Amino acid sequence: MSEVHEQGGTAASRPTMRDALVEAAFELFSERGFEQTTVDDIVSLAGVGRRSFFRYFPSKEAVVFPDHDGCLADMTALLEQADPTGDPVAQVCDAARLVLRMYAGNPAFSVGRYQLTKKVPNLRTHELSVVWRYERTLASHLRTRYAARADGALRADVIAAAVVAAHNFALRAWLRSGGEGDVGAAVDEALQLVIDTWGDGAAEGRAESQDEEVVVMVARRGTPMWRVVQGVEAALEP
């Protein structure tokens, strides 16, 4: 069913009221600054009432981050549907990529928000609370998967923090550049470091390494090199 708006028309023909409020807010933030803009200013420019604003956003800070609730819901759904036998570290990295796609889907808006957030401490605080919600969602999935381990809760929290740190390192570098470059490749590289360190394949690699036999060669000072090499070759023979 098509969404009908107060002004008339359909969702296909005009922005939603939510989008109109976000657009009006950022226009005013750019002209006047965040602190100097009020909710009344925003609804006046958008042509709606205060009740309409608070139907979508609990605060002025929330209008700066209009897409995170939806992204968090998508992340939660993705993890709930994840293969219970799959690599949990790879799964939470895939979930983190949903945040990347949200930012990369609208580079101009994402860069503008980043620049605004740097200037306003309250927005930075709000952003940190959003990041914490993402991290808790990733950690919750990992805690379930590692429930049988004695260190399961610790491992889950450490890996979730590592995923967020790796993702945000690459994402913020892209935002600082003004949205230039291949942010997808940069985030993939950063998350691969987490997978290589904590993923199932990394654990198998460490186990194989521990099973390998170590050979130590001892030689007297002044022993000819050819004799040292001969001794090493003999020790390494199967």
CATH, residue 56: 1.10.10.60
Residues 77 and 164 in one domain: yes
Q: Are residues 28 and 91 in the same domain?
A: no
What sections of the chain are H helices per DSSP? 17-32, 39-46, 50-56, 68-80, 88-104, 107-119, 121-145, 152-176, 183-198, 200-211, 225-236
What pLDDT, on the 0 to 100 scale, is given for residue 16?
87
Whether residues 86 and 41 fall in one domain: no
The rounded mean pLDDT for the chain is 86
Rounded CA separation 65/131 (Å): 11
Task: Examine residue 180 and state whether it is found in any structural domain, yes or no.
Answer: yes
Please list, in sequence order, all residues whose beta carbon lies within 8 angstroms of the beta carbon of residue 234, skipping any fewer than 6 positions away. Answer: none
Residues 189 and 118 in one domain: yes
The confidence score (pLDDT) of residue 5 equals 39
Domain count, the chain: 2
Report the C-alpha gap between 79 and 137 in whole angstroms. Answer: 9
78 and 23, same domain (yes or no): no
Report pTM: 0.76
> How long is the chain?
238
Domain holding 103, by residue range, is 67-198
Count CA within 13 A, CB hemisphere, residue 193. 13
Listed residues 45, 60, 75: the one ending a domain = 60
Domain check: are 46 and 73 in the same one? Answer: no
* pLDDT(82) > 80: yes
- Identify which has the larger pLDDT, 164 or 233: 164
How is residue 4 annotated by DSSP?
Answer: B
For residue 6, is pLDDT > 50? no
102 and 169 belong to one structural domain: yes
Q: What is the rounded distance in angstroms from the CA atom of residue 29 to the CA atom of residue 36?
A: 8
201: confidence class by pLDDT, cuts 50, 70, 90: confident
Please report whether residue 48 resides in a domain. Answer: yes
152 in the same domain as 133: yes
Question: Token pair 């000819």 is at which residue?
Answer: 224
Which pLDDT tens digit goes with each residue over 100-153?
999 999 999 999 999 999 999 999 999 999 999 999 999 999 999 999 999 999
Cα separation, 82 vs 196, in Å, equals: 20
Same domain, 72 and 183: yes
At residue 204, the pLDDT reads 53
